[in-house]
Amino acid sequence: MYRAKKSLLGLIFSIILLTWASSFSNADNSLFTAIEKVPLPTEVSAQEASLTSKDGILYMTWMENVNTQTKVMFSMKTANGWSEPTPVHIGHDLFVNWADFPSIAILSDKTIAVHWLQKIGKSAFDYQINIALSSNNGKTWSNPKILHEDLSPVQHGFVSMTPSKEKLLTIIWLDGRTYGVKLGETKNETEAMQLRATTITSDGIIGKEVAIDKRTCSCCQTSITVTDKGTVIAAYRDRSEGEIRDISIARLEQNIWQEPFNLYDDGWKLSGCPVNGPAISSIDKLVAVAWFTGAKGISAVKIAFSDDDGKSFATPFIIENKDPIGRVDLEMLPDGDALVSWVEWVDGNEIINICRASQEHGCKAQEQLVFNASNASLNFPQLERVNEDIYLVWTQPDENGDNLSMLRLSPKLID
């Protein structure tokens, strides 16, 4: 078992959080039968974790800054604890960002894939997507490959990956190869940010690249899932000619990306990117999407369900809250309910809220899990289901900068 080095303030925070979480777990109205703080194998300065799981194992990647270098790190959590953390990549020229950060996915043969972003130009937002594979549980990693065909010094990022077929990952990203020189001044489709896709095998063979949507929002996270039928479904924030930035869905069916469609007409008109992407998750043929919108000047978190493999979605439910910031994540539960997390303002401080929602009733109950009184942000919390448990990880600022914190949540049955 490997444990992070903790500052005094970080330790105090952990004690407060654990006490608060424990009091919730004992309450009759709690969403969970247990809430447990999970010791992490990270060092001080760890930030922006991504999670995935397979066969009861939790996999995590994150970044650590050491002097002038940035490390992309990996560890996996089994019943025996965390594995020895290993570096996937170390460099002086990685793109480090609170909203656009490395992700991790596991192929069917247990090959591990991790992506990160490498600076390639003079602009702060010129970077490419690199990806490396490991076939021995992260002990060693392949030489990195560039994921996209375009090598021009522009933005390539906001990656989402999912295992889609035997020994194959489907990967989507936002691509700036045709983006206008000045942000917010695109005149037509050919000058806009694009959503593109490709595949990679466990042998490192990168597939044909496809443009899914040639006009999208420029810096909102993408999200991807695969249903039990094998349909890959992507959710992302689109962008119309009239600057409407609502959520769209694209489906990969029988190896062909179908024409994207608008999930719901929020009508959020915005001249700039809100840095607030959707989250998608599925179980069987049931699909759920959660997202943030500021349409008509009202901040809201919404969730919509599909029971036909993502071909159509029911009218969304609004999750009641006071002052949401967004930064949503989503995980489906075995009974078909969904857990949605988001960040919200309460008395000038950030909290992480979580809600259990059903296809019939929307949000049935919600709970505040994390309170952040720091001057810095919790950034983008991440959820991952491992068997019956849910893991929540986030970047927790303290006087030394950033570190990671994690909770294990055991959902209770709710009628």
Q: The pTM is what?
A: 0.92
- pLDDT of 210 reads 97
Long-range Cβ pairs for the range 80-84 (8 Å, 24+): 80/1, 81/1, 81/2, 82/1, 82/2, 82/39, 82/40, 82/41, 83/2, 83/41, 83/137, 83/138, 84/2, 84/41
Predicted pLDDT of residue 25: 43
Identify the band that residue 193 occupies on the pLDDT scale cut at 50, 70 and 90. very high
pLDDT at residue 123, rounded to an integer:
86
* DSSP assignments along 177-243, one per residue: TT--SSTT---SGGGSEEEEEEEEETT--B---EEEEEEE-SS---EEEE-TT--EEEEEEB--TT-
- What's residue 44's pLDDT? 87
**Distance (Å, rounded) from C-alpha 62 to C-alpha 96?**
11
- Taking the C-alpha atoms of residue 265 and residue 267, their distance in angstroms, rounded to an integer, is 5
How is residue 19 annotated by DSSP? H
Lowest average pLDDT, out of 20-29, 91-100, 347-356, goes to 20-29
Q: How far is CA 50 from the centre of its chain?
A: 7
Q: Please report the pLDDT score of residue 17 as a whole number.
A: 54
From the centroid of its chain, how far is CA 273? Answer: 17
Among residues 153, 258, 280, 281, which one has the least CA distance to residue 210? 258
pLDDT score at 317: 98
To which H or E segment does residue 344 belong? Answer: strand 338-346
Q: Which pLDDT value is given to residue 280?
A: 98
pLDDT band at 122 (very low <50, low <70, confident <90, very high): confident
Looking at the predicted structure, is the pLDDT value of residue 348 above 70? Answer: yes
Reading the block at residue 90, the tokens are 């170390």
**Cβ contact 278:328 at 8 Å:** yes
Average of per-residue pLDDT values in the chain:
91
With a cut of 80, say whether residue 16 has pLDDT above it. no
Q: Over the stretch 376-403, which tens digit does the pLDDT of each residue have?
A: 899 999 999 999 999 999 999 887 778 9
Q: What's the pLDDT score for residue 400?
A: 76
Mean pLDDT of the region 165-194: 77
The CB-side HSE value for 393 (13 A sphere, CA atoms) comes to 24
Tell whether the model's pLDDT for residue 183 goes beyond 50.
no
Least confident interval from 19-23, 156-160, 162-166, 263-267: 19-23
**Tokens 């995935």 found at:** 52
Per cent of the chain over pLDDT 70 is: 90
Residue 1 is predicted with a pLDDT of 35
**Is pLDDT at 61 greater than 90 in this prediction?**
yes
Calpha distance 26→5 (Å, rounded): 29
Q: What is the pLDDT of residue 179?
A: 83
Give pLDDT tens digits for 90-101. 999 999 999 999
Strands (DSSP E) contained in 40-144 are 46-54, 57-66, 69-78, 81-82, 86-91, 103-106, 112-119, 127-134
Instruction: Give the residue from 116, 115, 113 showing the smallest Cα distance to 135.
Output: 113
133 C-beta neighbours (distance < 10 Å), count: 21
* Mean predicted confidence (pLDDT) in 341-352: 95
pLDDT attached to residue 121: 87
Q: Residue 15: which pLDDT band, with cuts at 50, 70 and 90?
A: very low
Average pLDDT over residues 125-150: 97
Q: Provide, rounded to the nearest whole percent, the portion of the chain with pLDDT above 90.
A: 82
Q: Which residues contact residue 411 at a Cβ distance below 8 angstroms, ignoring those fewer than 6 apart?
A: 31, 32, 33, 333, 339, 356, 388, 390
Give yes or no for a contact between 218 and 176, defined as CB atoms under 8 angstroms apart.
yes
List, for residues 284-334, the tens digit of each pLDDT value. 889 999 999 999 999 999 999 999 999 999 999 999 988 999 999 999 999
**Contact criterion met (CB below 8 Å) for 366 and 357:** no
pLDDT at position 82, please? 98
pLDDT score of 180 = 66
Question: What are the pLDDT digits (tens) for 231-249?
Answer: 999 999 999 999 999 999 9
- Residue 56 burial class via C-beta count within 10 angstroms: exposed 0-12, middle 13-18, buried 19 and up: exposed
